[in-house]
Structure 1
């Protein structure tokens, strides 16, 4: 499995998760480092969604931009791409970067379980806090 982090996330999150999940045979990439993505960091949402859809690898994505789910064209593209998406809630913008990275690593088993047990497309919010569970989003 590959994990895609969009422009609304720090590259530090991708490299931190990548260091953790490589041991399990997975990879994490920030948008600026995705192999074959033509415009790299300058790719718009529809471009990276199409790229992940066309790739023969299993991708999920993590975003800090909840507006992605409100834009009709992007929502439709995400659904047709059959991706599992994970949204960081707005509170993450006020959270220290190392704490955000720790939360994503802490929630990794739950994220992985969603991709195994729930049919794509799906969308979940990654909560703040150790005792909180992933929240399924209506979209």
Structure 2
């Protein structure tokens, strides 16, 4: 499983999660480090969604911007790409970076379980509380 962190997330979160999940054969990358995107880190959401759709590897994404679900073209691209997506709850914007990184590592088993149990496409919100379950989003 590969995890893409989009531009609405800090690169250090991808690095931190990668350090944890790489031991079990998974990988996490920030969009700035993904090869083959038409405009690199400045690629539009639809461009990176299509890039992940065409990739032979299994991808999920984590975004800090819930507006991706409000744009009709992006919602359609997400559905057709068959991706599992995870949106950080708004509370993450005011949370110190080290606490966000710790929460992402804490939530990884639950994120992985969702991807194994549910057929893609699916969308979930990652809450800030460590003892709060992921919340399924309709899109």
- Identify the TM-score tier after normalising by the shorter chain: over 0.9
By how many angstroms is 1:26 displaced? Answer: 0.5
Q: CA RMSD in A?
A: 0.6
1:52-97, Cα deviation, whole Å (9 max, x unpaired): 0000000000000000000000000000000000000111000000
In the alignment, the residues of structure 2 paired with residue 10 and residue 3 of structure 1 have an alpha-carbon distance, to the nearest angstrom, of 14
By how many angstroms is 1:110 displaced? Answer: 0.3
In the alignment, the residues of structure 1 paired with residue 129 and residue 37 of structure 2 have an alpha-carbon distance, to the nearest angstrom, of 33
Question: 2:81: which partner in 1?
Answer: 81
Does residue 125 of structure 1 match 2:125?
A: yes
Unaligned runs of 5+ in 1: none
By how many angstroms is 1:36 displaced? Answer: 1.9
In the alignment, the residues of structure 1 paired with residue 86 and residue 12 of structure 2 have an alpha-carbon distance, to the nearest angstrom, of 17
By how many angstroms is 1:125 displaced? Answer: 0.4
Aligned 1:24-103 pairs, distance under 5 A: 24-103=24-103
Normalised by the size of structure 2, how large is the TM-score?
0.98
By how many angstroms is 1:39 displaced? Answer: 1.5
Aligned length, in residue pairs: 139
Normalised by the size of structure 1, how large is the TM-score?
0.98
In the alignment, the residues of structure 2 paired with residue 36 and residue 16 of structure 1 have an alpha-carbon distance, to the nearest angstrom, of 23
Matched position secondary structure for 1:60: strand
In the alignment, the residues of structure 2 paired with residue 102 and residue 47 of structure 1 have an alpha-carbon distance, to the nearest angstrom, of 29
By how many angstroms is 1:40 displaced? Answer: 1.3
In the alignment, the residues of structure 2 paired with residue 134 and residue 25 of structure 1 have an alpha-carbon distance, to the nearest angstrom, of 23
By how many angstroms is 1:34 displaced? Answer: 0.7
By how many angstroms is 1:104 displaced? Answer: 0.6
TM superposition outliers: structure 1 runs of 4+ over 4 Å: none
In the alignment, the residues of structure 2 paired with residue 42 and residue 18 of structure 1 have an alpha-carbon distance, to the nearest angstrom, of 22
